[in-house]
Amino acid sequence: IDTRNARVAQAAIEAGADIVNDVSGGTHDPEMLASVASMGVPMILMHMRGNPKTMQALTNYTKNEGVLSGVMMELIARSKAAEAAGIPRWLQVLDPGIGFAKDVDGNLSLIKGAGVIRANCGNMPFLFGPSRKGFIGKVTGETDPAERDFGTIAACLVSIENKEEIRDACNILRVHNVKAVKQAVLTYEAIQKAKME
């Protein structure tokens, strides 16, 4: 269930949902973390500053901090708060919040730095949701979100890119066109595993 409301999350879990996705990282509803902890289900903690109405005015990460450091520090803080509320780290999935309180350069930096972010957040499971986001439209000039699947595929492949020092930077991709992204990821992984003969 995708909600910032603890009561909605509880009702959805009781109705059969398996995981709680909170775009506020548990900050919108003061009861959310305790509620999820009491249900013993996984929780996606997304990074966002402000709320959906104010977030795009909050993209100003300082030069000293930078978007990578800022997002990492804030995700670590949310993870610690979740753990203190009773949600063990193994039930947490972190999401850097692509498109939420980030400008185009910030989104690009987060995707390129996926492995660095994950490594600095203790290698916890990571979710990236670049699908059809506005930054793809700004990079490509595509104004129709439904036509941004090619850009989405590129962003997804970079976010899962495996480097020797940082394996599996991203564990979960949230996308609209599942078939296209699955096909791209399977092909990418086959190429990565291929022997050079």
Tens of pLDDT, residues 152-189: 999 999 998 866 555 667 899 999 999 999 999 999 98
Q: Is residue 98 classed as helix, strand or coil in its secondary structure?
A: coil
46 DSSP β-pair partners: 95
pLDDT for 2: 95
Which DSSP letter does residue 31 get?
T
Which tokens sit at 92? 């947490």
Q: Is residue 44 classed as helix, strand or coil in its secondary structure?
A: strand
pLDDT 10s digits, 108-141:
999 999 988 988 998 899 999 999 999 999 999 9
Which tokens sit at 54? 């104010």
Q: Taking the model in full, what pTM does it have?
A: 0.91
Q: Which residues contact 196 (CB under 8 A, 6 or more apart)?
A: none
Catalytic residues: 133, 174
pLDDT for 40: 97
Which DSSP letter does residue 117 get?
H
